[in-house]
Chains A and B, each alone.
Chain A
Amino acid sequence: MKLELSGITKTYEGQVVLDHVSVILDDIHAFVIIGPSGGGKTTLLRILAGLEYPDSGKVTIDGEEIQYHESWLRKYRKSIGMVFQSYNLFPHLSALRNITLPLELVHGMSRQDAEARAMELLERFQLKDHTYKKPIQLSGGQKQRVAIARAMAIKPKFLLLDEPTSALDPEFTSEVLDMIEELREEQKDLILVTHEMGFARQVADHVMFVAEGRVMEIGNAGEIFDAPKQGELKQFLDKVLKY
């Protein structure tokens, strides 16, 4: 995919969260955004997801400019997959129903077809035993995998993942990262905000370091992790990679 951001600015109550962010990237398959908490990376992802409006600036994806008004965004959101930090499964619905409900309501599939597609995904990601469980009966890792399966079920143009492992106990992190890697291997384009530097380095083709609302550095994984140019990035990497 092609991504073009020009002059994206966002403020909350006088606080500048994103300050004229401009980026042009061609041929993205796995775009990883890293940076300190509160630096604006989640806000940027939410703007890409059409969940937040920029105060000014333009977002163009594959040559199409995102129109920030509800009716356009509703259609746009249907075409992309979003995965949240805290899973956000619907707690009153089984794993299966969490996946099939959007397929039926939003994508007009029949119940049978929706269930067939959901079962295929659950099976593929070793979640079949949990098909009829409610989220409360699942571990954090299983919940997040169901959430990713839900996002994949709609056959999205690309996936957006907002710190998908940050809320997990360490023992569950790898099963979620394995799943994301598998998606990456099958050429599903994704944009990922993460604190997992080892994983970022492994899957990313482009890495962007965002801090204080600005793009501090951008490059391929090797450039960013092995030869950081900016002092801020060096300091950040030193801190997160210390242990």
Chain B
Amino acid sequence: MAGLFISQEHHEHPKWSNLAWVLSAILVFIIISGIFIFAFSQLQYHFNWSAIYKYKAKFIHGWLMTIIISLFSLVLSLFIGFFFAVGQQSRFLPYRMISKVYIEIIRGTPLLVQILIFFYVIGSAFHLNNRYVAGILILSFFAGAYVSEIIRAGIESIGKTQLETAKSLGFTKRDTYRYIIIPQVLKRIMPPLAGQFVSLVKDSSLLSIISVSEFTLNAQEVNSYTYSTLESYIPLAIGYFILTFPISMLTRYLERKFHYET
């Protein structure tokens, strides 16, 4: 019986029968739902979904706002990440230094603290009071540091030999970037960038602390109106998962695709 679930080929591409897939899926479902059903039954909690249902417009509004904030932040973080990735390779020392300092500070401190300092200290000093704009900026600078590292790793993964070959063929620096480096870097960074976007969507929930009316804040508000904590937060989990799961699948697909292509 156990043999059914163990792949005969144990290298890169294991294979199982359809029966094994179906049985495994049922098994996993039983285990996970079993744990949750048991845990919830111990809780003796009375779900009151009707109270929540009244606020469904609020959930949808918050969910859409999360998508909008994430999309804007994604685009902006790509520009920021690119700017500092170039900076990390720059021969102009101040540019190089600020890029490294930026990346280390952002990656080494909690987003929560960054949001508070950026909004209440830096934002107020520069009269940036629109919390949506501020939220997108903070999130973009946060994700930008990670994007920057992804791009840098992508550029470094292009072997020195290729740069040398381009040089020996007489390519200009511009043509080398345009025809040799960038096309390959773009392919290689797609999977980790998609993964970063998954994080970005979830990280946007922290903007609730500066009252950006995104998904999490709306769920919190519904909770405080109705005192139905689980009913407020379970849809929240599902809502984020609906956003992140397809991106996660896309990441896997891209990883497989480019693995064979390069």
Contact = CB atoms under 8 A, between A and B. Distances in A.
B175 A92 contact: no
Contact of B164 (A74, A88, A91): A88
Interface in B96-110: none
B169 interface: yes
B180 interface: yes
Contact of A134 (B171, B187, B261): B261
B90 interface: no
Contacts of B169: 77-78, 82, 102, 106, 150, 154
A51 B168 contact: yes
Contacts, number: 53
A49 B169 CA distance: 10
Contacts of B179: 101, 105
Instruction: Label chain A's interface by main secondary structure.
Output: loop
Contacts of A101: 179
Interface residues of B, number: 18
Contact of B180 (A77, A82, A90): A90
Nearest to B180: A90
Given A91-B184, A92-B187, A105-B179, A86 B170 contact: no
B167 interface: yes
Interface string A172-192: 000000000000000000000
B48 interface: no
Contacts of B94: none
A158 interface: no
A106 B170 contact: yes
Given A134-B261, A136-B262, A90 B162 contact: yes
Q: Which 4 pairs from chain A and chain B are nearest by CB?
A: A78-B170, A88-B165, A106-B170, A82-B168
Given A82-B168, A91-B184, A101-B179, 19 more contacts: A49-B168, A51-B167, A51-B168, A74-B170, A75-B170, A82-B169, A84-B165, A86-B161, A88-B164, A90-B162, A92-B183, A92-B261, A92-B262, A105-B172, A105-B175, A105-B179, A106-B170, A106-B171, A106-B175
15 contacts: A50-B168, A51-B164, A51-B168, A74-B170, A74-B172, A77-B170, A82-B165, A84-B161, A84-B165, A91-B262, A92-B262, A105-B171, A105-B172, A106-B175, A134-B261
Interface of B: 161-162, 164-165, 167-172, 175, 179-180, 183-184, 187, 261-262
